[in-house]
Amino acid sequence: MNRALALLLVTLLFTTAASAKDKDKYQRPGPIRLTSAGEKWAEKTLHKLTLEEKVGQVFMIWCRASFLNVENPEYLQLREAIEKYHVGSFAMTVHVDGPYLLRSEPYEAAELLNRLQSDSKLPLLFAADFERGVSMRLMGTTVFPHAMAFGGDGKIEDAEAFGRITAEESRAIGIHWNFFPDADVNSNPANPIINTRSFGEDPRQVGDLVVAYIKGAHEGGMLTTVKHFPGHGDTATDSHLGVASVNVDRAHLDSIELPPFRDAIAAGVDAVMVAHVTVPALDSDPNHVATISPVIVSDLLEKQLGFKGIVVTDALDMAGLTHLFSNNIGRAAVEAFKAGNDLLLIPADFPASYNAMVQAVRSGEISRERLDHSVLKILTTKASLGLQDARLVDQNAISTGVGKPENLAFGQQVADAAVTLVRDNGKVLPLKSSLKYQGTAKAGLPYTTQEETHNQVVAVLFSDDVRTESGRAFGREFRARIPDARVIYVDPRIAAGMSDEVLKAVDEARTVVAAVYVVPTAGKVGNTVAMADATGALLQQLLDHAAGKTAVVAMGNPYLAADFPKIENYMCTFSNATVSEMAAVKALFGEIAIRGHLPVSIPNVAQRGAGIERPAQVASGGLDHAQK
């Protein structure tokens, strides 16, 4: 018996020790802090690295989350980037297919990132563009609306919770760093690339929401980035496609563009992303976009604003920069580094850029001290996350840390609170459901309605492409309330051919809803946040026929109404996310109170802060309060 007891004790000791050892290999996200031991690790590691290894540390390239066999060519390319080019960081995204973003699963992402961490000599930094939370790239995670919806909501505490939840879900899958919040002040209604990605047009509100997000993200252990320095809000060009210019004087920069960046720096933001924009008031050289301008990066950002963290370029493969280096693409990385950037993001040609950097250091064009300065920043950042001690994530914890019901509900709550009613002629809203829920409907035959309402209510959903998800959640929720409502999906390719059908349905209808999906889309040819000619013409015809009985819902760009003065009923959600679609339908039917206020001014329509408030008229699901 004594021998059996001793054996049991030894087994328990070994099991406990193994369990503790296994637990120690996993990251433990928490408030970011650099210990003295971490600082020593960074300095010691720096001195051990070869020139080639140091250069690799200042690059970040794409990593597309999906299942990859170890012999898959795509995976072998990632391995080569680590082993041959010593890359120190990856930006996680997913594959795309035309207009489709092929979102992956959290487990697939975590498995791939863990595998790459195991392949690397040094711990890797993983970043992502989670502007609307992890759901931008991965399914099953908390869905948030666009940043401008937080401006419409107006609650500082909600922006803080946004940062915290995104951080918790990001760290659970192995992402340490978010390229957010967006500190751009969207003062130009025609801006094709910022728009709803910005919190709004007021520098103070933008700054407050940026600071709140940083605070929440840091609580969850995630690195943050403000972008796009020195401000991309007052531009009319997509810098993915060409050179955008900020044509304002220094006084304007100091009062509008720069304050949110100052606020972010004071709040301890970890990184600043520099834009591919020209700013003549700061650098008169027409070939100097901010990314390669020492005046803007080294002088303004680091010296004048006192930023000491990581300076990261916007993606180096964007046309706003590459057109300057078409004959020698590797020089883009060298010039950006010489300007003061520490991290070189997504070069158009990674091998050429890497080799150009190595040669620039060997020739003395870039001093070894300058290279060490940036590499030490990056290693120190890794140490502040504790990656030198534990670099893997526990995949078993994903099911408890990602997609929590209370977080999903919070994302919907923000979308609901953001809905803003700008115009109301008193004749259309709230819509009335044709069903009585909660058991109040009269008995009838299956698959039949109690009242013939066919074509009395028509919803026309305008999007860039009817094959995408845009409008699907809206259509489902709309029909859940009016099962025989006519829901018509339209895009620029089919709008002209469908005009007679749409207008006939509109003329016959008692009530019409036009939901317009226009959001900023990076790199879209002919990029604009205005409606395409064909769909815009159809919406105008619709309003010519039926403006008085039509409610227009801007599922994204709030400036839409400026192009259609006949709109009599106008509602904004500032986002096309599914939670915003749900919020829009609930608001249309009076199921939620409408409390949002415009975070931007709509030319000739309404000023910032405008918003018609309405109490909830019926309970969610269509049951009148009086019937409870």
Q: Which one is predicted more confidently, 242 or 207?
A: 207
Q: What is the mean pLDDT of the chain?
A: 91
pLDDT of residue 1: 57
Two tokens at 422?
A: 């700008």
Asked if residue 398 is part of any domain, the answer here is yes
Q: What is the DSSP string of 388-408?
A: TT--B--GGGHHHHSS-HHHH
pLDDT of residue 319: 85
Whether residues 296 and 426 share a domain: the answer is no
What pLDDT band is residue 8 in, cutting at 50, 70 and 90?
A: low
- Catalytic amino acids? 314
pLDDT of residue 91: 98
Which of 353, 387, 407 terminates a domain? The answer is: 407
pLDDT of residue 237: 59
Task: Quote the Cα angle for 426-152-221, to 5°.
Answer: 155
Whether residues 355 and 427 share a domain: the answer is no
pLDDT of residue 121: 97
pLDDT of residue 602: 97
Two tokens at 434?
A: 């044709």
CATH number at residue 307: 3.20.20.300
Whether residues 287 and 180 share a domain: the answer is yes
Residue 150: is its pLDDT beyond 90? yes
Chain centroid offset of residue 578 CA:
14
What pLDDT band is residue 448 in, cutting at 50, 70 and 90?
A: very low
Asked if residue 307 is part of any domain, the answer here is yes
Residue 21: is its pLDDT beyond 60? no
Whether residues 195 and 326 share a domain: the answer is yes
With beta carbons less than 8 A apart as the criterion, state whether 224 and 217 touch: yes
pLDDT of residue 66: 94
Domain that holds residue 153: 31-407
CA–CA distance, 558 with 611 (Å, rounded to integer): 12
Q: Which one is predicted more confidently, 15 or 482?
A: 482
Whether residues 400 and 456 share a domain: the answer is no
Whether residues 568 and 428 share a domain: the answer is yes
- In this predicted structure, which of 59-63, 161-165, 286-290, 611-615 has the lowest mean pLDDT? 286-290
pLDDT of residue 437: 38
Residues near 117 by beta carbon (within 8 Å), at least 6 away in sequence: 123, 124, 174, 391, 392
Task: Quote the Cα angle for 190-196-201, to 5°.
Answer: 70
Whether residues 366 and 498 share a domain: the answer is no
pLDDT of residue 608: 98
What pLDDT band is residue 23 in, cutting at 50, 70 and 90?
A: low
- In this predicted structure, which of 283-292, 429-438, 588-597 has the lowest mean pLDDT? 429-438
pLDDT of residue 4: 59
Asked if residue 14 is part of any domain, the answer here is no
pLDDT of residue 233: 79
Token look-up 């049991």 returns 8
Asked if residue 4 is part of any domain, the answer here is no
Whether residues 486 and 402 share a domain: the answer is no
pLDDT of residue 625: 34
pLDDT of residue 5: 61
pLDDT, average across residues 508-536: 79
What pLDDT band is residue 444 in, cutting at 50, 70 and 90?
A: very low
Asked if residue 10 is part of any domain, the answer here is no
Whether residues 110 and 173 share a domain: the answer is yes
With beta carbons less than 8 A apart as the criterion, state whether 118 and 538 touch: no
What pLDDT band is residue 527 in, cutting at 50, 70 and 90?
A: very low
Asked if residue 35 is part of any domain, the answer here is yes
Token look-up 């469908």 returns 498
Number of domains observed in the structure of the chain: 2
CA–CA distance, 463 with 475 (Å, rounded to integer): 13
The secondary structure of residue 343, as a DSSP letter, is B
The secondary structure of residue 223, as a DSSP letter, is B
> Strands (DSSP E) along 478-535, which ranges?
486-490, 511-516
- Sign of the C-alpha dihedral, residues 474, 475, 476, 477? positive
Give per-residue pLDDT as tens, 404-430: 999 999 999 999 999 999 999 999 999
Whether residues 426 and 391 share a domain: the answer is no
Whether residues 427 and 387 share a domain: the answer is no
Whether residues 214 and 87 share a domain: the answer is yes
Asked if residue 6 is part of any domain, the answer here is no
Asked if residue 21 is part of any domain, the answer here is no
Give per-residue pLDDT as tens, 383-401: 999 999 999 999 999 999 9
Residue 287: is its pLDDT beyond 90? no
- In this predicted structure, which of 332-341, 399-408, 453-462 has the lowest mean pLDDT? 453-462
3-state secondary structure 69-93: CCCCHHHHHHHHHHHCCCCCEEEEE
CATH number at residue 471: 3.40.50.1700
- In this predicted structure, which of 28-42, 75-89, 200-214 has the lowest mean pLDDT? 28-42
